[in-house]
Structure 1
Amino acid sequence: MGNGVVRVATRAPTELPTPKTASSSSHTTASDTRSDAQRSNSPPIPVIKTDGYNNKFDPERLSLEDILGEPGSSTALYIKKKMAGRGAFGEAFIVENNPVAPVAKRRGRIGAESLAVNGTERVGDCQSRQFVAKVLNLTCMSDHDRQYAQTEIMCLANADHFAIVRYYEHFYIDDEFQTIVIITEFADKGDLYRNLHHMPSDRFPTEREAGVLFVQLLLGLDHVHRRRMIHRDIKTANIFLTSRGFLKLGDFGFSKQYDTSVSNPIAVTFLGTSYYLSPEMLKGQRYGKKADIWAAGIVLCELLGKRRPFEAHSPAKLKELVLSGDMWLPPTQKSGESNNSAANTDGKASPPCISLEMREFLEYILQLDPDRRPSASQLLKTPLMQHYLHLFKKQVYDMIAADDEVERNYISNPVDCIGDRRRYNLTAKERVLVMRGIVEGENLIMSETEKQIESGIPGHMEGVVFKGTLDGRWKERYLTLADGYLTVTLAKEKCASNCNTRSKRMPLDTIKSVSSMKIFYSPEANSVEKVDCNKKFVFVLSTVHSQSILFATKTEEERDRWLTALMFTLDMG
């Protein structure tokens, strides 16, 4: 299960063991004292009794020094670089893999990171890498805390996505398994909370920066939810960033995996951080993956304004604010206004204005009723998130192009590169994971759109069209017919000028008529965005304001579907 390898000192238990006490029997384990119902909701730590390549090995005695060594160690699997934190149950270190360790041959899962898809090693990809090593003392933990550690390993090992902190392996230390060491991915820019609140007071992430990060969070959340898990503690402190612009969702200790679908409410335990708790959780009701979506909406608001939509000095007041829907959102920009942040009366800088489209997107997420709240896949399908997925994909392609150039330099000038090797933006494995995540997102968007259209929802239609201009040009747009509006959105790769909104909504009651029409395209026309203009199938909308708006599709079938949907919605049949 998962990508990691477990190594043990003398034996491999199937669960986090209960440390012995004076009153406990040496033959009693956690699994002996729990009911079947309890055990079904408490999956064991994944145990792999091989080295990752189905090669059996004999259990070996490993001390903590065998795993984490000081600089210069020739025996430790990992070299400690610095301490990352200390808590009630242990410590966390930034560590580096030790290439001279004698058991390096058993570190196959990490070594495989330097292999390209075809199984050949990429030149220059074998440099040392950094990880996080958590050293936890089980004897200090309650049953609840051991369950927390166990759950995090289980969930991370069950995930294989670029937007989720990667689990590599874990070790039990000592004969009585009193210590566990967990090796995970290292995000070098730290958590999102510290990044936001260590910014200068007048500095805020741009809407573009927030959108590119948030679409990664949605991709990771969809991956989690499709694996029948809910995170239950999404917050900026549990989201990590890298210097390459990637987002990583971590800290799965509160997560839960279920045998049934998480489409329905399934949990009642009150977990998570209060500012991020959904209305159904605050009411003590059963909840599911929509609680994660609510928390993600809080995170997006923080990204845009460095402030949560609901803040209060007491849990009771916070609950009152949430259940009333009385929330703060960043202001929207009015036509002609500057988008610069200004100072409040208290001297603090106000966040910059956001687009109307982003404001409506936030309101779409933060709906009190979980049944009306969208899923991660539905959010990814919105034109706004499709736009940011496209921008993120372009960002990744630029990294890959730069990495390919680095590799070509290694191959063509091997002597010049000795001692001065540039690091890749992405290891070969990371490249595969990121591209797989993007493709999964694109396929999901296509599937969601087709499913919605094929379901025959009256008055709903969406897709790519071409909008005609007065000077004979055709510009690609995304058209959505839903909820009493016809919404025209810029193509995925296009950004609005002067920070204006990317979408314009037309109330359906302003449309007077709709019909097909023939259009004759002049080859001499200055069509900078023409795509088989002679083959487009056109329909025209006439408005109550005496305007005529031309749209075209690539096929006659698409045009007829639009005509049918519009005529049905406008009751023109």
Structure 2
Amino acid sequence: MTEALKRDYRICEEIGRGRFGVVRRCEPLEPSAAPSSAAPSLAVKSIDKSAVSGDDLDSHCLLTEPKVMSLLSPHPNLLRIHNAYEDSSHLHLVLDLCDSPDLHRAVASSGPLPEPEAARILAQLMRAVAHCHRHGVVHRDIKPENILFDSRGRLRLADFGSAEVIGGGEQAAALRGVVGTPHYVAPEVVAGREYGEKVDVWSAGVVLYVMLAGFPPFRGESAVEIFGAVLRANLRFPPRVFRSVSAAAKDLLRMMLCRDASRRLSADQVLKIRLQLVIS
């Protein structure tokens, strides 16, 4: 670890390990390195450069995450980056600590969520997504595993390794390339067409469906089968599962999981127009 990192933070126990590195709890040693009262706990994510392959995508992810997180911070529903350090072997990111179960683990352990709880989580998620889009950022990998919760139960959207900065308005660039997780990727991504920020709205719609049903809307035994189901976008609401789900929630899902991206709701529209129907 860099001397600067060890000078600023006490590195504590390991709390997670992934494909490219390890996450440890850490504590600030200097007042200047201390987080705000809104984020009292910290972790350091140490990315092993040697584990990142030389291909363009992995190298891009390594460089993109700290840049995008710095651009977007602070926001109450985004994982905040406090500092970044680099040495010859690792990139170290000091982040908010979220040690509660992520949304995937919460649904896996407890089953489908009551509609009011799903609506509350969706509202926080869409505030995070709308903030990203206002700053010209497309997340591209929204899924329950990347939806974390802090010690106060507040949602924090994480993992910006696949994100892209495309700008906004008429200056927004179009994206290409299959990026994301099969169950959550939008049809235009699978089809190889140019796409924009509304791929995040599709992914958030899948997340809402998973919260209400306990399983994704487009399924298959392999990635190829899942992609085929996504392209067909045949959205169904099995009565056994959706019996207690409101018509407003189903309408919202239809408009978020609209195959035609030009007719799909934007993140701001989900917040300003439709979400109140679910919460009411």
Task: Tell me the residue number matched to 1:285.
Answer: 193
Match in the other structure for 1:146: 59
Residues 319 and 250 from structure 1, CA distance in 2 versus in 1: closer, same or farther, beyond 3 angstroms?
same
Q: Which AA in structure 2 matches 1:365?
A: M
User: Which whole-Å CA distance do the structure 2 matches of 1:148 and 1:297 have between them?
Assistant: 25
Q: Is the 8 A contact 1:263 1:288 kept in 2?
A: no
> Aligned ranges for residues 126-525 of structure 1 at < 5 Å?
129-143=40-54, 144=56, 145-159=58-72, 160-173=74-87, 177-199=88-110, 203-259=111-167, 261=169, 266-329=174-237, 331=239, 350=241, 353-385=244-276, 388=279, 495=280
Instruction: Name the structure, 1 or 2, with higher relative contact order (CA <8 Å, separation 6+).
Output: 2
Deviations 1:14-34 (A, max 9, x none): xxxxxxxxxxxxxxxxxxxxx
Q: Which has the higher helix share?
A: 2
CA RMSD of aligned residues (A): 2.5
Q: Distance in 2 between matches of 1:137 and 1:265?
A: 31
Please give the per-residue CA displacement for 1:387-423, whole angstroms capped at 9, x wherever unaligned. Answer: 74xxxxxxxxxxxxxxxxxxxxxxxxxxxxxxxxxxx
Q: Could you give the per-residue CA deviations for residues 471-523 of structure 1, whole angstroms, max 9, x where no partner exists?
A: xxxxxxxxxxxxxxxxxxxxxxxx5xxxxxxxxxxxxxxxxxxxxxxxxxxxx
Aligned-residue offset at 1:241? 1.5
Aligned length: 277
SS at match of 2:248: helix
**CA contact 1:189–1:240 (8 Å) conserved in 2:** yes
CA-CA distance at 1:330 after TM superposition: 5.5
Unmatched tracts of structure 1, length 5 or more: 1-62, 69-75, 115-124, 332-341, 343-349, 389-494, 496-573
Kept in 2: contact 1:165–1:185 (CA 8 A): yes
- The answer to whether the 8 Å contact 2:135/2:168 transfers is no
Question: Is the aligned partner of 1:67 residue 2:5?
Answer: yes
1:157 positional shift: 0.5
- Name the CA distance, whole Å, in 2 between partners of 1:377 and 1:302: 21
Please, which runs of 5 or more residues in structure 2 have no aligned partner? none
Paired with 2:243 and 2:276, the residues of 1 have a C-alpha distance of: 20
Contact 2:14 2:23 in 1 (8 A): yes
Say which SS state the counterpart of residue 22 (structure 2) adopts.
strand
2:43 aligned counterpart, secondary structure? strand
Which of 139-148 and 369-378 deviates more?
139-148
* Aligned counterpart for 2:21 among listed residues 90, 94, 98: 90
**Preserved CA contact (<8 Å) 1:280 1:286:** yes
Normalising by structure 2, we get a TM-score of 0.89
Q: Return the alpha-carbon distance in structure 2 between the equivalents of residues 88 and 308 of structure 1.
A: 24
Contact preservation (8 Å) 1:228, 1:262: no
CA-CA distance at 1:314 after TM superposition: 2.3
Deviation at 1:321, TM superposition (A): 2.1
In 2, the alpha carbon distance for the partners of 1:79 and 1:317 equals 47
Cα shift at 1:305: 1.3
Structure 2: distance between partners of 1:172 and 1:225? 28
Structure 2 Cα separation of the partners of residues 105 and 205 of structure 1: 41
The answer to whether the 8 Å contact 2:12/2:25 transfers is yes
